Amino acid sequence: MAKKQSELIGWREWVALPDLGIPHIKAKVDTGAKTSALHAYYVTPFEKDGKPWVRFGLHPLQKDSLTCIECEYPVKDVRPVTDSGGHCEERVVIETRLLINGVEMPIEVTLTDRENMRFRMLLGRSALRKGFLVDSSKSFLLGGNKDQPLMPSM
């Protein structure tokens, strides 16, 4: 059986997180990050049916603090993560579906405050190894933008 050819993507792409009700979010493709990260301006752990869950809010669009999505989701793990500045913090990890160029896949995402960052989402190596090659000189090779949702509205 022939191996599926890897898809070429740019250093930033529009993606969707359908389980979280996010029809489009601009993601920075970050080969230096192992796990993907998603902006959450608050993260509140709680228990549901004896299992760990998390309630969090996010602003999916850059420079827009009015558009708000609130989520409740099962916790997969809590891990120490070191950011690019060398700071270590404990982060909640969830597993959710990523939709990119019509392909759905499960990915792990850490929740952290990215309010002052240019991108509300980082797409890390663990997600990329599922069939993507990065051309760091290109952007939005897969098309799409916030005016053309990647998935039907929830």
- Domain extent listing, the chain: 7-135
CB 4 within 8 A of CB 130: no
CB 83: neighbour CB atoms within 10 A? 13
**Percentage, residues of the chain above pLDDT 90:** 58
Query: CB-hemisphere CA count at 13 Å for 127?
Result: 32
Q: Which CATH superfamily is domain 7-135 in?
A: Acid Proteases (2.40.70.10)
CB 147: neighbour CB atoms within 10 A? 6
Cα 97 to Cα 145: distance, rounded to the nearest angstrom:
19
Strand partners, 12: 28
Reported as a single tens digit per residue, the pLDDT across 123-153 is 999 998 888 899 999 999 887 655 544 444 3
Supply the pTM of this predicted model. 0.86
